[in-house]
Structure 1
Amino acid sequence: MWKANLFIRYSRQAVPLIRNQVNSKTQTLISSPFTYLSSFLSQNPRFFSIDSNQNFQNAPNIFQEESDYPSVNLFDENPSFISQESETPLANFDGNHGFSSQESETPFASFDGNNGFISQLGVEDENPSFVSQEKVREIDLEKVESVLSILQSNVDGSMENSLDGMRLYLSEEFMVRVIETPLVPGDSLVKIFKWALKKPDFSTTTRILDCLVKAVGSGNRKREVYALWDLVKEFNDEKKCLLTTEILNEFISLFWKLGKGKAGLEVFDKFEEFACEWNADSYYLTIEALCRRKIFDWAWPVCEKMLNAGALPDSEKISNIISCFCKGNKAKDAHLVYLMAKEKKIHLSKSCLNFLITSLCREDDTVKLALDLLGDFSGKDRNYAIKPFSCVVRGLCRIKDTEEVKKLLSMMIFEGPPPGNAVFNFVINAFSKAGEMDVVMGFVKIMESRGLRPDVYTYTVIISGFVKGGEMEEARKVLSEAQKKHSKLCPATFHTLIQGYCKLGEFDKAVELLNVMKESGVEPNFDEYDKMIQSLCLKAVDWRTAEKLLEEMKEKGLPIKGSTKGLVRAVKELEEKELGEEVVSMEA
């Protein structure tokens, strides 16, 4: 006896979800044949029956042979039988449970007789629009909002209890959604992460840690960053392996921004413990963090590790490192960084090279290093590098390496950059102190031949050189030449000559030059008068001329020291006493 059994089971609740999951092309292919099937069922209202003892797989299939009726849509308001065999198999019909998924090139979904459609197989990878019910269950938006409300309310002491009562499923997606929400306080994020770590069903991931560090760091608050770092340091071996170089670099960067160089160095030292490898940014961020706090002695060992590893950052960051060490009076160390960058063919800016050369010229033992670096300038860059070249010339003059000075000056004249008055003044001053006045006058001629006019400082230096050698006549000639070229000289130009005359005991010429000085429009200052008066009293015993100079000082409103007045009075009294004794002796 045939028993009529209708094996049609479906779930109205699942239909909307699956309709949303099936793409439009697939719906077009499988929905159009439904019209034919619906028409067939209406014309042949019969039910197919099978023996209850037989397996459903042995039951006759009305679509087993080719027919005029194509396959039907999977789901509709009135679901019907579908073909088991087609070019694109869609689903099997299970005698006990209704439709079930069948392996095919384009699998779609399984149908549960009681619960409706429960999952799709293989579709999620091929079509991103498919979303599994499992993932939907993981990200419960209502619970996310509830958690955010708790975190943003800053409830003291009750946050953990509130979270415990929510029975949260702490998946990676859930935690990331909470952490990446804007305007959540950093301390609240640290608290919920610390609370989650205590839950046995929570497994933190690298992605969660990365999001957490960035979110906490965005607030730029010292207390929150330190709290998170202290929590990370307590990780066991299983969790330590989740940390990456990028995450640790982010910690160093945060401490750098906060001005906590020592904390940045602590993170740097933890790389090996966390089984991470330093990269170029690790070295750079740590060096910058320490240099910002002017802890240059701690920054250099990190820089040495960078040089030994050959892990140099880009040219801009290398330039910053060189500048930091130069500012910290470690130009010699900065020079080593420059040489490594040059070996690695990292092109550094000319401003960086200028700063390095200038810094090297500050110390006597590194001037020669600066001299070697001048060769790195070429073409137009060389013509505009007058400042570093001038610094090297000045440094060589300071260490009295006159031979190198001659070579460098000659090279600048013929190859550039063209030397200016400042460079010639350095050179003339150095050779004047060395007493090589013939060479000095040769430089003056070179200046004039190049269209340069010696300035007042140049003449003053030359006069000083002649005076030092006792060549007062030559010095006086230079003074006359200076008066022709410059309408007004400085007091130091005359002072050098006056002092020279005083040392030679030629006080008449010294006083004469003092009057010439006033006639040239250069007024003697307090120091000039005071020294002249002392020389007249102590060496020439000429209190009369000294007294006249005191009167001039009074008229000009210049201050007069009591000791100077006393010196003039004492010399005068001494002379009067001597004269009195002579008169008495003559009368006797």
Structure 2
Amino acid sequence: MWRYSLLRASSIRSQWLNRANPKTLASTSALSSCLEVYTNHRKNHGNPSFMSRESHSVAETSSYDGGNPSFSSNVSDGSSFNGETSKNGNDGHGSPRFFSEGFHGISIENSDDESPKVGGFFPEESCGDENPGRTDSFSEESHVDDALAADDENPNPDFESKVETRDSIDINTEELQSVLSVLQSSLEGSLESKLDEMNLTLSDKFVAIVIGDPHVLGENLIGFFKWANKQSDFSPSIRVMNSLVQNISQKRRERDAHSLWNFIKEIAEKDQKLVNTEILNELICFFRALGKAKAGLEVFKKFRDFGCGYNADSYFSTIELLCCRRMFDDAWSICEEMLNSGYLPSSAKLGKLMACFCKGERAKDAHLIYLMSKEKKEFPPISSVHFLISSLSKVNETVNLASEILEDYPIEVRKKAIKPFSSVVRGLCRIGDMENAKILLFNMIDGGPPPGNAVFNFIINGYSKSGKPDEAIELLNLIENRGLRPDVYSYSVIMSSLVRSGRLDDACNLLNEAKKRHSVLTPVTYHILIRAYCNDGDFEKAISFLDEMKENGVHPNVDEYNKLIQSLCLNALDWRTAQKLLEEMTKAGLYPNAITRSLISAVKELEEEELASGGHIEGQEIAESG
């Protein structure tokens, strides 16, 4: 365990120093010397007591001032990692910006930027795994911490030799600094020739650090990997490939995306073991962030060619990408494959797919996703179900599907789900299914959510349009019995239905009921009766309702005046009364249309011609008596 403590202390101390002073570029000399002491003592003594004798030599490599540690050393060429100017540097402090490496080796970080977080790349797009930490991503610190934790729980005598073997390859910090300086700078000439001139000593760890640097352009990272892959002392691994893809994906540059995809195709043709499902999923998410649906679809179709299988993230990311670009036919084709395969994403992601298809007016397809999620016990978020019901209710052919989903609502959710229930009631009334609409209404009264005036109005309107005003009046009484007050709209709709049935007296009685419950009515309410009496030829009654409107503070609009004037001219030939209404209308700031004005003039001229010829105008006596 003393060896475990030494390794753990080295890792924690390196991380703490870098966080404590982010503007300091820490070298590896202290940690390397720590390992060197450990290795030499293993060879010579094998006694854990060396820590008490030799740990002072390690501590002397660092100094502490008031709790603020400074940790610096010089490399062989004289350049400094403590924030001073370096000949080979590229950033504001003269030193190249490095990818932070958390264990034993390089612990060098940019003075201004934090090291990239390993995990989900586009959380706002919900691509890939919901877990922000990816187990397949490259993080030396996480791998070592896992190994140490495993050793702590299950002591393994072979662990020391494994750590010794892995860390026996030293990282030449001068070479690392030089490589990053070249990759971070603007290149002139061939990258491969520059790298060949450096005569580098490669290792998996060296390549991983370079590949993971967040400040190198994607095309340079790909170029470096291609060059390293040709060297005899380097063998590429899936972990390094993961790091390359993730690092380039974070940059979100379109040029990098296409270059990376071409590179992956080249790699897969040579060695399919270097490409896996997670890498291709990340690439699809990359194209998702750029809105490149066709490229993402091309990646999806190459899975099986590369020997990779689909998983839930593969399907979800591709379908979401295609829906965002309104390629719904392709998206649904893949969605059907997903549903048949049984690889369903999480319930939250299923809800997002349902919403995507609903927005594309494919609510029926979204309903199939809902049924499959229900079968697999992966219930989507309630907000997605609300949206699905609303979308299904807007289409006549799918209203009944929306009604069926309401039966799946738990009691505690049902009591607050007034919007989806209202949508279904409205849809049922629109298609004329008044029986089921009324049944649903009474179910809402018994089990919730409590219906409001809007729900009652949907059904009242449905009965009125279907020529059943008596059923509508029953609902009007039900509203009052539940302690609600029917609004003016409810009365107006039923009055209109009564008028169409020729029951003008019943319509007038209903108007009186409305006046008792509402101090101010709307012009529409009076307009229904004015038009009805005009069509019935009772102009005196129609004019009386016009006067009543003004007495009750309801201002007549152009429609009321136009209807009365035109009816007086065409049916009664009473241009004098029509002329008075026209003057009254003008004083109120209302202006009749050309037809209304021309009718008055035409009827007046007709009367004058008839009088001149000794004829008699029908309706003249009515006008004079009026």
TM-score of the alignment, normalized to the shorter chain, above 0.5: yes
Partner of 2:599: 567
Instruction: Give the 3-state SS of the residue equivalent to 1:435 in structure 2.
Output: coil
Q: Distance in 1 between matches of 2:187 and 2:468?
A: 84
Q: Distance in 1 between matches of 2:187 and 2:207?
A: 19
1:22 aligns with 2:41: yes
Deviation at 1:418, TM superposition (A): 1.7
1:254 aligns with 2:286: yes
Partner of 1:290: 322
Aligned partners of 1:180 and 1:211 also within 8 Å: yes
Deviation at 1:379, TM superposition (A): 1.6
Aligned partners of 2:41 and 2:50 also within 8 Å: no
Pick one of 179, 183, 206 that aligns with 1:174.
206
What amino acid does structure 1 have at the position aligned with 2:455?
Answer: V
Partner of 1:226: 258
Pick one of 471, 475, 481 that aligns with 1:439.
471
Deviation at 1:164, TM superposition (A): 1.6
- Bigger mean CA offset, 422-431 vs 295-304: 295-304
Aligned partners of 2:242 and 2:279 also within 8 Å: yes
Q: Distance in 2 between matches of 1:25 and 1:490?
A: 102
RMSD: 2.5
Aligned partners of 2:575 and 2:604 also within 8 Å: yes
What amino acid does structure 2 have at the position aligned with 1:191?
Answer: G
Q: Which runs of 5+ in 2 are unaligned?
A: 1-32, 53-155, 617-626
Deviation at 1:124, TM superposition (A): 7.1
Partner of 1:426: 458
Partner of 1:532: 564
Deviation at 1:377, TM superposition (A): 1.3
Instruction: Give the 3-state SS of the residue equivalent to 2:164 in structure 1.
Output: coil
1:485-534 CA-to-partner distances (Å, cap 9, x unmatched) read 11111111111111111111111111111111111111111222122211
Deviation at 1:453, TM superposition (A): 0.9
Pick one of 161, 164, 167 that aligns with 1:130.
164
Q: Distance in 2 between matches of 1:582 and 1:126?
A: 129
What amino acid does structure 1 have at the position aligned with 2:47?
Answer: Q
Partner of 1:337: 369
Pick one of 234, 245, 249 that aligns with 1:217.
249
Deviation at 1:385, TM superposition (A): 1.2
Partner of 2:345: 313
Partner of 1:465: 497
Pick one of 167, 183, 187 that aligns with 1:155.
187
Aligned partners of 1:123 and 1:130 also within 8 Å: no
Partner of 1:482: 514
Deviation at 1:260, TM superposition (A): 1.4
Sort the Cα spacing of 1:132 and 1:359 in 2 relative to 1 into closer, same or farther, 3 A: closer
Partner of 1:413: 445
Sort the Cα spacing of 1:416 and 1:541 in 2 relative to 1 into closer, same or farther, 3 A: same
What amino acid does structure 2 have at the position aligned with 1:459?
Answer: Y
The structure, 1 or 2, with the larger RCO (C-alpha pairs under 8 Å, 6+ apart) is 2
1:511 aligns with 2:543: yes
Aligned partners of 1:256 and 1:285 also within 8 Å: yes
Instruction: Give the 3-state SS of the residue equivalent to 1:250 in structure 2.
Output: helix
Sort the Cα spacing of 1:205 and 1:20 in 2 relative to 1 into closer, same or farther, 3 A: closer
Pick one of 193, 205, 211 that aligns with 2:225.
193
Aligned partners of 1:288 and 1:321 also within 8 Å: yes
What amino acid does structure 2 have at the position aligned with 1:503?
Answer: N
What amino acid does structure 2 have at the position aligned with 1:306?
Answer: M
Q: Distance in 1 between matches of 2:167 and 2:428?
A: 80
Aligned partners of 1:483 and 1:489 also within 8 Å: yes
Sort the Cα spacing of 1:551 and 1:199 in 2 relative to 1 into closer, same or farther, 3 A: same
Aligned partners of 2:267 and 2:274 also within 8 Å: no
Scaled by the length of structure 2, what TM-score is found? 0.73
Partner of 1:392: 424
Once the two structures are superposed, the pairs formed by residues 76-95 of structure 1 within 5 Å of their partners are: none
Partner of 1:328: 360
What amino acid does structure 2 have at the position aligned with 1:130?
Answer: E
Aligned partners of 1:466 and 1:472 also within 8 Å: yes
Aligned partners of 1:190 and 1:224 also within 8 Å: no
Q: Distance in 2 between matches of 1:445 and 1:341?
A: 43
Paired-residue identity, %: 50
Deviation at 1:22, TM superposition (A): 2.9
Deviation at 1:275, TM superposition (A): 0.4
Pick one of 238, 259, 271 that aligns with 2:270.
238
Scaled by the length of structure 1, what TM-score is found? 0.77
1:376-403 CA-to-partner distances (Å, cap 9, x unmatched) read 1132211111111111110000000112
Q: Distance in 2 between matches of 1:123 and 1:189?
A: 38
Aligned partners of 2:169 and 2:203 also within 8 Å: no
Sort the Cα spacing of 1:316 and 1:25 in 2 relative to 1 into closer, same or farther, 3 A: farther
- Bigger mean CA offset, 312-321 vs 552-561: 552-561
Deviation at 1:316, TM superposition (A): 0.9
What amino acid does structure 2 have at the position aligned with 1:204?
Answer: P
Aligned partners of 1:255 and 1:263 also within 8 Å: yes
Instruction: Give the 3-state SS of the residue equivalent to 2:267 in structure 1.
Output: coil
What amino acid does structure 2 have at the position aligned with 1:22?
Answer: H
Sort the Cα spacing of 1:542 and 1:155 in 2 relative to 1 into closer, same or farther, 3 A: same
Largest Rg, 1 or 2 = 1
What amino acid does structure 1 have at the position aligned with 2:329?
Answer: D
Instruction: Give the 3-state SS of the residue equivalent to 1:360 in structure 2.
Output: helix
Aligned partners of 2:211 and 2:225 also within 8 Å: no
Q: Distance in 2 between matches of 1:30 and 1:413?
A: 82
Instruction: Give the 3-state SS of the residue equivalent to 1:489 in structure 2.
Output: coil
Pick one of 245, 269, 273 that aligns with 2:301.
269
What amino acid does structure 2 have at the position aligned with 1:27?
Answer: N
Q: Distance in 2 between matches of 1:494 and 1:314?
A: 56
Q: Distance in 2 between matches of 1:509 and 1:371?
A: 46
Q: Distance in 2 between matches of 1:178 and 1:489?
A: 77
Instruction: Give the 3-state SS of the residue equivalent to 1:337 in structure 2.
Output: helix
1:218-244 CA-to-partner distances (Å, cap 9, x unmatched) read 111111111111111223533223211
- Bigger mean CA offset, 205-214 vs 524-533: 524-533
Q: Which runs of 5+ in 1 are unaligned?
A: 1-13, 33-121
What amino acid does structure 1 have at the position aligned with 2:169?
Answer: K
1:454 aligns with 2:474: no
